[in-house]
Structure 1
Amino acid sequence: MNRRSLIISFSAILSLAGFLFLYNNGVDNKLEKEDKAVVKAVNVVYEYVNVDEFGANGDDSKDDSGSIQEAIDHSHNSKIGKVKLLGNKTYIVKQGLVIKKGVELEFGQNTRLRIVGNFRAIDVKKNASISNGIIEIVDDSFNSDVIYLDGNQKFWSWDRTQIRNVTIINLTDSHMGTGLHLYARESGHFISFVNFTDLRIAGFQTGVKLEADKPKEKDKYSFVNGNRFINLTLDDCVRCIDINSSVSIPNESSGNEFSGLQIQISENTKQAIRITGSDNKFEGIIWDFHILKKNKSIVEFTNDSMRNRLDSNLGSDYIKDKGKNNYYTSPEEDSKNKK
């Protein structure tokens, strides 16, 4: 074999090696992309749990409670953390739901949860959340809580519990039940620093209730303190906001903030706000209070109230203050004071 033949053979070998390298590299890249696509697809599938996959329908009159709870339980156990009710559907609930720790129940903007019967509708545990959607009461017998937080969960500043962009409405004429209830029942129970944002509550006996019972044990405490209610709308409730506690320890509801508050009075309304505790703040508008012109306690600061503040459009003629060092003002009051 001459030198020229050797050079040609060597070049051919190099070309073949280069081809094989490029081919194998291309195959590897293709496989890698396909593997990534598979992983991505798996991640998309398991980003949330769809209640429909557990038998909930949303398009019929059957009870979806069991299917929704099963989806919540699966999301909790698998640590997926999110359950979705999608579309303009109406899911029927005939027994209470428990949103377990670390689970977010997310509705579509116009997805409805229809409560049929008399029971606590949704019990929200620590680090659980609710977002979007409409929860509606259609049973005249309903006289319980729609959304309930129990102080035995010991909600605190670093927890992720939140309720946002939810409409809660009693469609019956009963005006019974409570839209949102925060309750510290015993010693060592507390609910603090939870955010409630963009809620609309209508048609209940009580719109929002904050409650702390006196502990039976000496030197023990229960409290509902430091929670924020931002852009809260209350309509056609017998009592819109009810805070029930002592003025301070051992059982108090203090330092809660209501900002961007809108209260619509109706002929069914007896009282807009009843206040106990200390250092609670309320800022907003109370509409059509002239409907209750014979009622001189549309807002009441009770004997167990101190250093609470109300900034509204309501004149002092409609405010009863039995407490200590409470402050309330309105444009009308400011104008009078300037004169």
Structure 2
Amino acid sequence: MIRRSTTIYISAIILIVGLLFLFKNEHQVVTMTGNGQNEYVNVDEFGANGDDLKDDSRSIQEAINYSHETKIGKVKLLGNKSYILKKGLVLKEGVELEFGQNTRLRIEGNFQAIDVKKNASISNGVLEIVDANFDSDVIYLDGIQKFWSWDRTQIKNVTLLNTSGSHRGTGLHLYAGGPGQFICFVNFTDIRIAGFHTGVKLEAEKPKDSNKYSFINGNRFINLTLDNCISCIDINSSMSVPNESSGNDFNGLQIQVSKFTKEVITVSGSDNKFEGLIWDAHIVKGNNPIIEFSKESMRNSLYSNIESNYIKDKGVHNYYSTPEEDAMNSK
């Protein structure tokens, strides 16, 4: 009888210790609100540092996975720290990745940095390419996720830099290439992109099944700044179905041309709209056209300060407003 009581007593102690350990572990990795609700997951509690030269890829991914599995939904990288990424991240559905305003994610290697799934989002911070071998995408969205109007996917207040001097890779890449794949009605707000081969790329490929469609339509790019890119905005698709990029709205553009710039805007698809300023177009060698409406373009519009000699229009019913035309119309 005594032995049985002792066994029960020891088992109870083990259970209590285990529960205390679990509570402590949960408390360490999750920051709680005042009312006891789980607010966010801190990557530092999964082993990320941000103050050393250690690869933080695994720790950040584990924090994302934990936030996804527990439905907490938010992961934070805090402070004026520089985290190191040597392997790509999958930002899982329903997870918000939030950086501190000056938090950096230094990307070392050649790989797709962040694959954004449906209902995921990124806000704040600096994503910096420091490896001259990088030739992939920093932020990537794939139409296989079927992004649509009721989803909560968004990218906001993010800076994408390639400081390696290579002018390689793509800052923001939207791709739809299979039957029934699409990216629609996603908001990209207050994004700064500099030093890449391609700043923003929208790419809709023709599906192998000719009866199916792929499309990238109706996305909003608000207050987008592009600087020192070889190709600033590249929209690559057919004029219409089966693979189209149409109705995308670029509003509040600020584009700084450099000696490396070859194309500012290349447009296929229909009804895409561009409004903003393009600085120092004269820097481009030979004063070649830096804006091209391709033969697969229709009813696209450009409202800018750029003069017509910098524009090549191979498409149908495209519209662009130039300073000289505005002056003539005002008389």
TM-score, normalization by structure 2: 0.89
State the shift of 1:333 in Å. 2.1
| Correspondence 1:46-125 to 2 at 5 A | 46-125=38-117
Q: Distance in 1 between matches of 2:55 and 2:36?
A: 30
Mapped pair 1:280 → 2:288:
no
Report how many aligned residue pairs link the two structures: 300
Is the CA contact (8 Å cut-off) linking 1:296 and 1:320 kept in structure 2?
A: no
Mapped pair 1:315 → 2:307:
yes
Is the CA contact (8 Å cut-off) linking 1:112 and 1:136 kept in structure 2?
A: yes
Superposition misfits of 4+ residues, deviation over 3 angstroms: 39-42, 336-339
Ranges in structure 1 where 5+ consecutive residues have no aligned partner: 1-38
State, as a whole percentage, how many aligned pairs show the same letter.
Answer: 73
Which residue does the alignment assign to 2:242? 250
2:205 to 207, 213, 220: 213
1:231 to 204, 223, 242: 223
| Correspondence 1:150-189 to 2 at 5 A | 150-189=142-181
Matched position secondary structure for 2:275: strand
Is the CA contact (8 Å cut-off) linking 2:138 and 2:170 kept in structure 1?
A: yes
Aligned-residue CA RMSD (Å): 1.2
State the shift of 1:337 in Å. 4.4
Which residue does the alignment assign to 2:12? none
Mapped pair 1:295 → 2:287:
yes
Is the CA contact (8 Å cut-off) linking 1:315 and 1:333 kept in structure 2?
A: no
Matched position secondary structure for 1:130: strand
Matched position secondary structure for 1:260: strand
Is the CA contact (8 Å cut-off) linking 2:259 and 2:285 kept in structure 1?
A: no
State the shift of 1:336 in Å. 3.3
Matched position secondary structure for 1:75: helix
Rate the CA distance shift 1:142–1:40 in 2: closer, same or farther, 3 A.
closer
Q: Distance in 1 between matches of 2:239 and 2:258?
A: 30
Deviations 1:271-317 (A, max 9, x none): 10000000000000000001126233210000000000000000111
Letter in 2 for 1:99: L
Q: Distance in 1 between matches of 2:300 and 2:55?
A: 45
2:319 to 324, 327, 335: 327
Structure number with greater Rg is 1
Q: Distance in 1 between matches of 2:123 and 2:55?
A: 22
Which residue does the alignment assign to 1:43? 36
TM-score, normalization by structure 1: 0.87
Q: Distance in 2 between matches of 1:275 and 1:208?
A: 12
Deviations 1:131-183 (A, max 9, x none): 00000000010000000000000000000000000000000111000000000
Ranges in structure 2 where 5+ consecutive residues have no aligned partner: 1-31
Matched position secondary structure for 1:186: coil
